[in-house]
Structure 1
Amino acid sequence: MAYDYEKNVRSQASISEIDLGLKAYMNKVYSFMAFGLALTGALAHLTSSLAFDFSTNTMTSFGAAIYTSPLAFIIMLSPLAFIIALNFGVAKMKESTLQILFWAFAAVMGVSLSSIFIQYTGESVARVFFITAGAFGGLSLYGYTTKKDLSGWGSFLFIGLIGILLASIVNMFMQSTGLQFAISAIGVLVFAGLTAYDTQRIKAMYYDGYGQEGKKAIMGALSLYLNFINLFIMLIQLFGQRR
């Protein structure tokens, strides 16, 4: 439990020392996440510009290669491969290796999400991004400051996440707009909850003894990055203006 860790560690070190360490640790988490999002956004915009001629509304040869050829499946599945590698290799990897994989993952995500700039207007992408940023900031702040133990949310959020995944796979074949709306609406609630839950969990990771703070910060940033990206995707599916 988050508060058990805090109590045990505070008995061994001064409160000011712990608080300064926690602040530096969380700053590192949010910095990794923010720079990861910036890299993803920049590459997504660049890729869409190379893949689609917006003046003529036609796809370029590069766009055809990454969106309609077998390469599209590789691009679509690559982020999942990175997530698996990061989660299962964290114990054995050096911090520098973990960091390189994180940046590579953020870059691949940028290419994978580039079609958003083609499907939706730039104005709606920007609007939904700022809505997502505001919501994420408030939810993460709640998770960081609340005295309520959010660990009980974990099982419910995990079930919701599995439900969204299964429904999304089914809708790939059904192509139902009603089901897609339901997936997006429920997805907003799930990833909103995960943002608060993961923030408290990441904070608790710091109190789980000293050492490996660098690795913990990277993995914490990965969790929050994924929550932000998925919250953004769900919101733009609900409120984005298509071209």
Structure 2
Amino acid sequence: MDIYRPPVTVAASTPRVNVNEVMKGVYMWMTAGLGTSALVAVLFAATGLTLTLYPAYILFLFAELGLVWYLSARIMRMPAQRATTMFLIYAALNGATLSVILYAFALSDIYVALFATAAMFGAMSIVGYTTTVDLSKMGSLLFMALIGLIVASIVNIFLASSALYWIVSYAGVIIFTGLTAYDTQRIKNQVVLIDQMSAEGDTATLTRRVSILGALILYLDFVNLFLFILRIVGRRR
């Protein structure tokens, strides 16, 4: 459960990869990552591993952060299969940490939050993919807002303010809704600049690499949007 957005640096190039193929791969691997997280979360909760391993969850969080940083920095220089495996390992670790929500919230509220997240994410991703409006300026504002959101969340750990809790929750929904559109457009636009991100690799390899990186970015948007919506609609047990 982390609020993190990996950087992507590109250089101009003549593309060898197809935009539609890459975006298809992005959504396919994002869905695979979400499915892996959901499966692991259910298994951990059902078998009691969530409670057994709970003291070690801080290690899980550090491992997740390390994997995200490593993937975002090295993905264009590692074998495509290794990148895929590491992404799924990250999704599994995140599923283990997410399993705590099955103890903290009613199952019906989790379903409502999941449905609302899927609807909002789908709508905003379509907007980001189809719009001709440049969302880059919005992305800069959203990134600054995200930093403020992280700071406010940390501060509220000590303040335990109910008002700040709700402000952070609604702000989180707005920010990650916007980031979904921005990141979708960013991934789509960067497909045409992808060749110089790697000196080696055939078209299939490049397509898989950028698909995994895009899947990681949108996976993080989806999960964080879901968590903030759950904070709003969920009734804590």
Pairwise same-fold verdict (TM > 0.5): yes
How far apart, in 2, do the equivalents of 1:63 and 1:223 lie? Answer: 26
- Listed as ranges, the matches of 1:118-137 within 5 Å are 118-137=103-122
Which residues of structure 1 form unaligned runs of 5+?
A: 52-61
Which residues of structure 2 form unaligned runs of 5+?
A: 1-10, 196-202
Change (3 A) 1:137 1:64: closer
> Across the two proteins, how many residue pairs are aligned to each other?
218
Change (3 A) 1:64 1:131: closer
Question: Which of 229, 232, 241 is residue 226 of structure 2 equivalent to?
Answer: 232
SS in 1 for 2:76: coil
Residue 212 of structure 2 aligns with which residue? 218
List per-residue Cα deviations over 1:122-156 (Å, max 9, x = no partner).
11101110110000000000000001011111211
Residue 91 of structure 1 aligns with which residue? 76
How far apart, in 1, do the equivalents of 2:236 and 2:68 lie? Answer: 30
Do structure 1's residue 182 and structure 2's residue 167 form an aligned pair? yes
- What is the identity, as a one-letter code, of the residue corresponding to 1:189? I
Residue 25 of structure 1 aligns with which residue? 22
Structure exhibiting the larger radius of gyration computed from Cα positions: 1
Superposition deviation, residue 63 in structure 1:
4.1
Question: Which of 41, 53, 58 is residue 44 of structure 1 equivalent to?
Answer: 41
- Listed as ranges, the matches of 1:1-243 within 5 Å are 21-51=18-48, 62-67=49-54, 69=55, 71-210=56-195, 211=203, 212-243=206-237
- What is the identity, as a one-letter code, of the residue corresponding to 2:68? I
SS in 2 for 1:90: helix
How far apart, in 1, do the equivalents of 2:105 and 2:51 lie? Answer: 18
SS in 1 for 2:88: helix
Q: Report if aligned partners of 2:21, 2:207 keep a CA contact under 8 Å in 1.
A: no
SS in 2 for 1:152: helix
Identity in percent: 35
How far apart, in 1, do the equivalents of 2:88 and 2:76 lie? Answer: 18
Q: Which runs of 4+ in 1 moved over 6 A?
A: none
Provide TM-score, normalisation by structure 1: 0.84
How far apart, in 2, do the equivalents of 1:118 and 1:209 lie? Answer: 43
Higher relative contact order (CA 8 A, sep 6+): 2
List per-residue Cα deviations over 1:165-211 (Å, max 9, x = no partner).
11111122222222111111101111001000000001011111555
How far apart, in 1, do the equivalents of 2:51 and 2:225 lie? Answer: 28
How far apart, in 2, do the equivalents of 1:209 and 1:230 lie? Answer: 27
Change (3 A) 1:50 1:178: farther
Change (3 A) 1:189 1:44: same
- What is the identity, as a one-letter code, of the residue corresponding to 1:235? I
SS in 1 for 2:136: coil
- What is the identity, as a one-letter code, of the residue corresponding to 2:144? I
